[in-house]
Amino acid sequence: MAPGAPVGVYDSGFGGLTVLRELRRSLPALDVVYLGDSGRAPYGGRDADTVLDFAEQCVERLFGEGCQVIIVACHTVSCVALRHLQRRYGSAARRVLGVTIPAAEAAVAQTRGHIGFLGTARTVASHTFRTEVWKLAPQVAVSEVAAPLLAPLVEEGWEETGIARLAVQRYLAPFAGIDTLVLGCTHYPLLARAFRALVGPEIAVLNPAPEVAARFAAWRQRHPGLAPEGTGRLRILSSGDPARFARSAARFLGEEPPPIERVAERNGRLAPCPDGSDPVGQIVRPAEA
Amino acid sequence: MAPGAPVGVYDSGFGGLTVLRELRRSLPALDVVYLGDSGRAPYGGRDADTVLDFAEQCVERLFGEGCQVIIVACHTVSCVALRHLQRRYGSAARRVLGVTIPAAEAAVAQTRGHIGFLGTARTVASHTFRTEVWKLAPQVAVSEVAAPLLAPLVEEGWEETGIARLAVQRYLAPFAGIDTLVLGCTHYPLLARAFRALVGPEIAVLNPAPEVAARFAAWRQRHPGLAPEGTGRLRILSSGDPARFARSAARFLGEEPPPIERVAERNGRLAPCPDGSDPVGQIVRPAEA
C-alpha cells in the first residue's frame, strides 16, 4: 500500500465537489484526486450500459492515479453501477464506496414516515434509493421523482435565476405528504435556496453530502492504511473544458480549485491529455493503413 | 443497387425527427430508416474522437440496413464529422449528406447582412456554420451562441412552458443587430413559438429542416436510383430506451411512430438488440471470460 495514497472522488461533473467540500471540511489533511467527467455529463439520461462504461473508465483512471479508495459521489453511478464497480475492482487493498446507503440512512433517521427523493431519470428508474430505505425501514413511504433538467441547469450556472425557481417548483408539484426531501443528485445542493423557499417549513430538505463525509470518516477509522493522512493536497481531473470547469468549481467546492488537469477518452480509456484544446471545424481521420 | 433501398436519416437522438417530418412531407413515398443514438446523446461534450466513433457506428448500421444515402440530420455531427464520413464511406453508390450547407445557404438567401446562429456547445465551437456562410458570402456577419440547455429542455417536454420562454430569452440576449436567426439544432424547431414571440418581427427565425428536405428532393432528381421511390415505409432504430423514445417521437415527427427497434453497441458496432428492456437497480456485468 502506497504510504501517501490519495482518496479518489468520482463524479459525472462538477456536482461531486459539493461532497468533496464536506470531505475536506471533516478531514482537511486528506490528499484527494477528484475526477469530474464533465465532458460527458450529465449521465442521468444515458443508458445503463453507457453509465457502466464511463464508470469503469473513471474508476480505472483514479486507480491509475494511485488511489486505493474511491468515493463515487454521483448518485446516478452509485445507484446503477456501484455493485458492479465493487465486484470488478474491489479487494482488500482497493475499495469503491457510494452515496446511496448514507443518503438512505440519513433520510430514515430524519423522516416521520414519508420520504421524497429527487434525482436524475436514471437514478429514479433504478429505485435503488427506495430499496435501500426499505432494507432499513420497510414501513416508510418513499416517493421518487425524476428531475432531469436540474443538473444541466446548475451546470449552466443558472441556479439563482427565475428559471431555476420555476423548474424546482415544477419538479416539487408531484410530491404529496412528504416530511423529508432528499436531494439525490450532487448538483441539487446549489439549488438549496430555491428548494427551501418552495417546500415550506414543514418539510426538511436533506443534502446527503455531510452524512457521506461523516460516514467516510468513520469508515476510515475501521480501515487504517487505506486512506492515510496526507497534507491536504487536492488535484482535480476533468474530461471537460478545463477553463469552464475552473469557472464553476469554486461555486461547488467553496474554495479556489487547483489548476484543472484535462483527461480525455482515448481508445476506450480515460487518459491524461495535457494539450486538451478542442479541434475546430471538420475533423478527418487518416485512413487506416 | 437494391431496387427498394431506403434512405437513412441519422441523428444523435430524437431531434432529427423534425428533419424526417419535412422529408416525409415533401417525399411521402420515400422508404426511410431513421437511427436515433439516444442512448449516447447528447454528443455535444464528447471528445471529437468519440463523436467520430459513434458517427461511424451509426452510419455503418444504416448501410447495413440497406441504405445507399444517409442524411446526417444532427448539426453537431454534420459540423464535426461529415467530411470524415464522406471520405470514409462515400462512393458513386453510397452517399452521406449533411445539414450545415443547406442551413448556410438558406440563411445567406434570407439575411440582410447579419446572421445569428444558435447551436450546441460543440456545434458552435466548430465554427463550421460560419465557415460555410463565409464561403458563400464573405461580407455577411455571423454571431454564434451556444445554448446547451435548450435540447434537454425540449427532451423534457417543457417547450410550451414559461421556463422555455425564459431560457430562450436568456440565450437570445447576447445577439445584437442580427436580422436572421438560424435554429442550428434539430430540437429547436419545437421551441419555434417561444423564439417567434421573443425575437420580434424584424428578425426571421429560420428552421433549416424544410431547406434540407427541399435540397434533398432536388439532389434525388440529379442522382436517380440512389433514393428510389418506395411505399413510404418508415422504420425507427434507437440505441436508447424504446419506450422513452416512442413517448417523445410523435411530438417531433408529427405522426405516430412505428414500433421502435432497439440497437446497442456490441464489440464496437451498433447491432440489433431486440430484448433491450432497461434493467432496474444495480447492474452487475458478468466478468470477462
pLDDT for A85-95, tens place per residue?
Answer: 999 999 999 99
Indicate the residue of B163, B241, B264 with minimum beta-carbon distance to A163: B163
Model pLDDT for residues B33-72, shown as the tens digit of each residue: 999 998 888 787 666 777 888 999 999 999 999 999 999 9
What the block records as the C-alpha cell of A187 is 448538483
Residues within 8 A of A (CB atoms), B 78-97 only: 79-84, 87-88
Which residues are A117's β-sheet partners?
A144, A182
Q: What is the reported pLDDT for A3?
A: 58
pLDDT band at residue A289 under the 50/70/90 scheme: very low
Confirm or reject contact between B277 and chain A (CB < 8 A): no
- Contact between B178 and B147 (Cβ < 8 Å): no
Distances, alpha carbon B12 to alpha carbons B86, B153, B270, in Å: 18, 16, 13
In B7-151, beta strands by DSSP E = 7-11, 32-36, 69-72, 95-97, 114-119, 141-146
Best mutation target, A135, A163, A168, to test chain B (most B CBs within 10 A): A163
User: Which residue in chain B has the smallest CA separation from A154?
Assistant: B149
Chain B hits for A85, CB-CB cut-off 8 Å, are none
In 3D space, the residue among A126, A120, A118 whose CA is nearest the CA of residue A145 turns out to be A118
Instruction: Kindly list the residues from chain A whose CB atom is less than 8 angstroms away from the CB atom of residue B40.
Output: 46-47, 50
B283 vs A: CB within 8 A: yes
Contacts of B265 in chain A (CB under 8 A): 49
Locate A157 and state its grid cell. 450556472
- Nearest-by-CA chain B residue for A53: B285
User: What is the pTM (predicted TM-score) of this model?
Assistant: 0.89
pLDDT tops 50 at residue A1:
no
Q: Is A286 on the interface with B (CB under 8 A)?
A: no
Nearest CA in chain A to B56: A285
User: Mutation test of the interface with chain A: which of B47, B78, B124, choosing the one with the most A Cβ atoms within 10 A?
Assistant: B47
Residue A160's pLDDT is 92
Q: Distance, in angstroms, between A3 CA and closest chain B CA?
A: 31
Q: Which residue of A has its CA nearest to B146?
A: A156
CB contact under 8 A, A39 and B49: no
Distance CA(A164)–CA(A60), nearest Å, equals 35
* Chain A residue numbers touching B164 (CB-CB < 8 A): none
* pLDDT tens sequence across B71-119: 999 999 999 999 999 999 999 999 999 999 999 999 999 999 999 999 9
**What pLDDT shows up at residue B1?**
43
In chain B, pLDDT over 90 holds for what percent of residues? 73
SS (H, E, C) B228-268: CECCCCEEEEECCCHHHHHHHHHHHHCCCCCCEEEEEEECC
| Selection from B286, B278, B280, B284 nearest residue B38 by Cα | B278
Residue with cell 444517409: B70
Q: Does A173 touch chain B (CB under 8 A)?
A: no
Q: How far is CA A220 from CA A109, A233, B49, in A?
A: 22, 18, 39
Q: Do A45 and B155 touch (CB under 8 A)?
A: yes
* Closest CB from A40, A82, A280 relative to B127: A280
Q: What is the least distance, in Å, from the CA of B44 to any CA of chain A? A: 8
Q: Would an 8 Å CB–CB cutoff place B263 in contact with chain A?
A: no
Please name each of the domains of chain B with its CATH number: 7-99+211-272 (3.40.50.1860), 100-207 (3.40.50.1860)
Q: What pLDDT, on a 0 to 100 scale, did the predictor assign at position A6?
A: 97
Higher confidence at residue A259 or residue B152? A259
Q: Looking at CA atoms only, how far is residue B128 from chain A in angstroms?
A: 5
**Does residue B190 surpass a pLDDT of 90?**
yes
Give me the pLDDT at residue B80, please: 94
Instruction: Give the model's pLDDT for residue B17.
Output: 96
Residues in chain A: 289
Within the 125-144 window of chain B, which residues sit less than 8 Å (CB to CB) from chain A? Answer: 125-128, 131
Q: Can A185 be counted among the known catalytic residues?
A: yes
Nearest to B45 among A80, A240, A281 (CB): A240
Of residues A153, A141, A136, the one with CA closest to residue A195: A153
Nearest alpha-carbon partner for A156 in B45, B198, B125, B206: B45
Residues of B in contact with A242 (CB under 8 A): none
The pLDDT value recorded for residue B3 is: 57
Contact residues for A98 (Cβ-Cβ < 8 A; gap 6+): A71, A72, A77, A78, A82
pLDDT band at B289 (very low <50, low <70, confident <90, very high): very low
Kindly list the strands in the beta sheet with B204-206, ordered across the sheet, starting from the edge strand earlier in the chain: B141-146, B114-119, B180-183, B204-206
- State the nearest Cα–Cα gap between A177 and chain B, in angstroms: 25
Q: What is the DSSP letter of A161?
A: S
Return the closest-CA partner of residue B12 out of B33, B28, B35. Answer: B35
Q: Is the pLDDT of residue A27 over 90?
A: yes
A210 pLDDT band, cuts 50/70/90, is: very high
Q: How confident is the model at residue A42 (pLDDT cuts 50, 70, 90)?
A: confident
Question: What whole-number distance in Å separates Cα of residue B18 and Cα of residue B30?
Answer: 16
pLDDT above 90: residue B279: no
pLDDT digits (tens, 9 = 90+) for B216-269: 999 999 998 899 999 999 999 999 888 889 988 998 999 999 999 999 887 778
From the CA of A78, how many Å to the nearest CA of chain B?
Answer: 8
What percentage of chain A has pLDDT greater than the value 70?
A: 97
Task: Flag whether pLDDT at A277 surpasses 80.
Answer: no
Is B185 a known active-site residue? yes
Instruction: Assess contact for A31 and A2: CB atoms under 8 A.
Output: no
Distance CA A251, CA A236 (A): 15
The per-residue DSSP string of A227-276 comes to: S-B----EEEEESS-HHHHHHHHHHHHSSPPPPEEEEEEETTEEEE-TT-
Q: Which residues of A touch B50 (CB under 8 A)?
A: 265
A38 touches chain B (CB under 8 A): yes
The pLDDT of residue A288 is above 80: no
Q: What is the pLDDT of residues A134-189, one digit of tens each?
A: 999 999 999 999 999 999 899 888 999 999 999 999 999 999 999 999 999 999 99
Across chain A, the runs of DSSP E, i.e. the strands, are 7-11, 32-36, 69-72, 95-97, 114-119, 141-146, 180-183, 204-206, 234-238, 260-266, 269-272
Residues of B within 8 A of A39 (CB-CB) are 45-47
Contact B257, B246 (CB under 8 A): yes
Which chain B residues are within 8 Å of A168, Cβ to Cβ?
A: none
- The answer to whether the Cβ–Cβ distance between A281 and B126 falls below 8 Å is yes
Looking up cell 435548450, which residue turns up?
Answer: B150
Cα–Cα distance, A92 to A69 (Å, whole number): 10
Are the CB atoms for B113 and B88 separated by under 8 Å?
no
Q: How many angstroms away from the CA of A87 is the closest CA of chain B?
A: 8
Whole-number Å distance between alpha carbons of A25 and B242: 44
Is pLDDT of A196 > 80?
yes
B285–chain A Cβ distance below 8 A for any pair: yes
- The answer to whether B60 faces chain A, any CB pair under 8 Å, is no
Q: What is the pLDDT of residue B135?
A: 98
Average pLDDT over residues A99-110: 97
Say which residue, B126 or B273, is predicted with more confidence: B126
ipTM of the assembly? 0.84
pLDDT on residue A11? 96
* Kind plus residue range of the DSSP H or E element containing B180: strand B180-183
